[in-house]
Chains A and B, each alone.
Chain A
């Protein structure tokens, strides 16, 4: 019983690490630009395809290809910000949602057009390798993804705390007007933040590829989970997103086992609705921050 429970917790935490990584990019973009980016999952999908093709065409190891995929996604993020996000920065939030939904639909179906609806996966020597630690089974690629997501979160945290651009990003997230007055070029901050958020989801895609399939709608699967995580942790709160991701991963693991696999999504959506209704600022958010998105 206890071992079963521990195993479920470990599985959940490992899965949650991936959710955290995806959600951190989403919450960063929301915190700074106040835009709910529905196309976030499609960037994950593009990163997974990039990893897949680098593996199959160039024989590159998925972890090594992170060095290519991450900058690639950063650039894609910059382009998307310039073309789609920048023109709607001052539009009502609902219009912004529509614009990013449009981007999501376009990217998803472009993938369908170019890569077909086939499920693709890559087979590495370590895809199915598991470690045995005091009676617990731990999947090696998932452990790598988990550790990487902790390191990446730490790196992002340091970037935001210690560097000039990080301080500028936090300043813009707190108060647009005041930061403009302090001489921060907020348009460049938006651009950089969007690129950064997209690069983070790009890394998640690369880390996910050894254990997961890629197909055109794979992003939709993860993006709704990421929204749950982001709301749970408090919109714009990076530490919150990290812990929220782990919580959702564990909840998913428990409910999949003790209730039913098909119901695990319903459980975390129920949590999502409850959090929205009872504490819309999220578990770690500042009270009142839920109205940040309001225009």
Chain B
């Protein structure tokens, strides 16, 4: 295990990533500007959630626009458990993950029969139904008023006054999602997913249990997304159904890997480092004085990306520099590693 790691570190991809990680760890010690720290937190947050979406959307090609459902279920499970039973938010997060996983398995199984835009529309509908139900059952969920999380600070309560602890938590989260994606990419499971993404019938006939693989990917993706939901809730210390279950979140989770490069472990990270600062800066420059203008620009970016770089940034780089690459969608695995896997 140590030799491949050593080899990996000699590769520019390896030492540059390590360098980046060290820089991120040291960053809050040097910079104390809250806006910059907030920006970095949001970048890592969307990198992690884009990565979570990427497992089912990118690797398995099941293009969901309903991931806000998992995000919201995770957050609401944790916060409501805390509210009614006083359960610690960290434990609540794990329980939330389990609830979300069960929920994801239950709704994914029937949805997987649908293809193309029909699958996407069904996922949107599920998130909408959940939002409506959370608003309706206001006796239990507090409805559209939302829940303010009691500000008991400290690590045990998952609430902090400063930004730095949040940064370290979200950094761990993003790194974890990246590692999971990286191992999926290299594993047999990853190949199964790639096979069913390219041609489901062919994969099935070659002995890939496509339903089980998709289900596994969906549950993993949903569980990671629910962690993001809890993190976001604990970060802003407030939840309400309109934003938790919003289509905007679902779009954002899918857009980040799309910009970076779908179906690659590094894609969501690159995508978030490009997209999130752009959005946050546009919002802070234009959001106050010209309502809506930053979202007009955002919408235009969306259209331009789809029209001019449908393969994402990684695809663009690969297409430009790497000649003779056989599978441009297979991401950042060095060719040798793949041979070993076989």
Chain A residues proximal to chain B, CB less than 8 Å: 36, 84, 87-88, 91-99, 101-113, 116-117, 216, 224, 227-228, 231, 260, 262-263, 265-266, 269-270, 272-273, 276-277, 280, 290-291, 293-295
Which of B121, B132, B300 is close to A276, meaning CB atoms less than 8 Å apart? B121
Decide: A295 near B306, CB < 8 A? Known: A102-B300, A276-B122: no
Our pick among A92, A103, A113, A231 for the contact of B303 (Cβ within 8 Å) is A103
Does B136 contact A110, Cβ atoms closer than 8 Å?
Answer: no
The interface bits of chain B over 241-263 (1 if a CB of A lies within 8 angstroms of the residue's CB, else 0) are 00000000001001100100000
The reply to whether B116 and A273 contact each other, CB–CB distance below 8 Å, is no
The contact string, 1 if C-beta is below 8 Å from chain A, for chain B 178-205, is 0000000000000000000000000000
List the B side residues contacting A91 at CB < 8 Å: 306, 310
A15 CA to B114 CA, complexed, in Å: 30
Pick the interface stretch among B77-85, B285-293, B334-342.
B285-293
Tell me whether A269 and B128 are in contact in the complex, defined as CB-CB below 8 angstroms, given that A97-B117, A99-B302, A112-B292 are known contacts.
yes
For the A-B complex with A109-B293, A294-B116 known, give 11 more contacts whose Cβ atoms are closer than 8 Å. Answer: A36-B121, A96-B306, A101-B302, A105-B296, A106-B298, A106-B299, A269-B125, A273-B122, A276-B121, A280-B113, A295-B116
**Cβ contact within 8 Å between A97 and B120:** yes
- Residue in B65, B117, B133 whose beta carbon sits within 8 Å of that of A266 in the complex: B133
Is there contact, CB below 8 Å, between B303 and A106? yes
B212 on the interface (CB 8 Å rule)?
Answer: no
- Quote the shortest CB–CB distance from B249 to chain A (angstroms): 13
By the criterion CB–CB under 8 Å, are B299 and A36 in contact? Answer: no
A270 touches B116 (CB 8 A): no
Q: B116 contacts which of A93, A110, A117 (Cβ < 8 Å)? A: A93
- The answer to whether A116 touches B291, judged by C-beta atoms less than 8 angstroms apart, is yes
7 contacts between A and B (CB under 8 A): A109-B294, A112-B291, A265-B132, A270-B129, A277-B110, A277-B111, A294-B116
Residue of A whose beta carbon sits closest to that of B135:
A262
Give the CA-CA distance A263 to B135 in the complex, in Å: 9
Interface residues of B (CB under 8 A from A): 63, 65, 110-111, 113-118, 120-122, 124-126, 128-129, 132-133, 135-136, 251, 254-255, 258, 290-296, 298-303, 305-307, 310
Contact at B118–A293, with CB atoms within 8 Å?
Answer: yes
Contact yes or no, B296 A113, CB < 8 A: yes
In the assembled complex, the CB of B252 is this many whole angstroms from the nearest CB of chain A, namely: 11
A262: which of B121, B122, B132 is its contact (CB, 8 Å)?
B132
Top 8 A-B pairs ranked by shortest CB distance?
A: A102-B302, A106-B299, A112-B292, A105-B299, A109-B292, A109-B295, A102-B303, A293-B116
Q: Select one of B113, B117, B128, B295 contacting A277, CB under 8 A.
A: B113
A91 to B258, CA, bound (A): 14
B295 touches A98 (CB 8 A): no
In the complex, what distance in Å separates the CA atom of A272 from the CA atom of B121? Answer: 9
> CB-CB < 8 A to B255: which residues of A?
98
Total A-B contacts with CB atoms under 8 angstroms apart:
140
- Chain A residue with Cβ nearest B133: A266
Distance in angstroms between the alpha carbons of A199 and B286 in the assembled complex = 33
Q: Is the interface of A mostly helix, strand, loop or mixed?
A: helix
CB distance from A99 to the nearest CB of B (A): 4
Task: Assess whether A273 is in contact with B125, with CB atoms less than 8 Å apart.
Answer: yes
Cβ-defined contact, B125 with A102, below 8 A: no
Q: Given known contacts A87-B307, A295-B116, is B136 in contact with A263 (CB within 8 Å)?
A: yes
**CA gap between A245 and B121 in the complex, in Å:** 18
Q: A88 vs B11: C-alpha distance in the bound complex, in angstroms? A: 37
Give complex CA distance A104, B302 in Å.
Answer: 10
List residues of chain A with CB within 8 A of the CB of B133. Answer: 266
A164 and B121 CA atoms in complex are apart in Å by 34
A41 CB → nearest B CB, Å: 12
CB distance from B136 to the nearest CB of A (A): 5
For B255, give the chain A residue with the smallest CB separation. Answer: A98
Contacts of A273 in B (CB 8 A): 122, 125-126, 129
A residues less than 8 Å from B136 (CB atoms): 260, 262-263, 266
Contact status A94-B63, CB under 8 Å: yes
Cα A94 to Cα B305 with chains together (Å): 13
Pick the contact of B310: A95, A97, A101, A110 (CB < 8 A): A95
A133 to B38, CA, bound (A): 62
Q: Which of the residues B111, B132, B291, B295 comes within 8 Å of A269, measured between beta carbons?
A: B132
- What residues on A are CB-neighbors of B65 within 8 Å? 97
Nearest residue, chain B, Cβ from A273: B125
Contacts of B292 in A (CB 8 A): 108-113, 216
From A97, A99, A231, A291, B115 is in contact (CB under 8 Å) with A291
Of chain B, the residue at the smallest CB distance from A270 is B129
Contact present for B293 and A99 (CB under 8 Å): no
Residue of A with least CB distance to B301 = A102
CA distance A92 to B63 in the complex (A): 11
Nearest CB of A to B266, in Å:
20
In the complex, which of the residues A87, A94, A113 has the most CB atoms of chain B within 10 Å of its own CB atom?
A94
Q: Is there contact, CB below 8 Å, between B293 and A113?
A: yes
Please indicate the chain B residues that have their CB under 8 angstroms from the CB of A290 in the complex.
114-115, 118
Closest residue on chain B to residue A290 by CB atoms: B118
Establish whether residues A117 and B118, one from each chain, have CB atoms under 8 Å apart when the complex forms.
no
* Residue pair B129, A93 in contact (C-beta under 8 Å): no
* Chain A residues with CB below 8 A from B306, complex form: 88, 91, 95-96, 98-99, 102
Closest chain A residue, CB of each to CB of B290 = A113
Q: Which B-chain residue is minimally distant from A278 (CB atoms)?
A: B110
Contact of A224 with B290 at beta-carbon distance under 8 Å, contacts A87-B307, A102-B306, A106-B303 already known: no
Option from B120, B124, B125, B302 in Cβ contact (under 8 Å) with A94? B120
Q: Is the pair B118, A263 in contact by a Cβ cutoff of 8 Å?
A: no
What's the minimum C-beta distance from A71 to chain B, rounded to whole angstroms? 25
Q: Once the chains are docked, how many angstroms separate the CA of A110 from the CA of B307?
A: 21
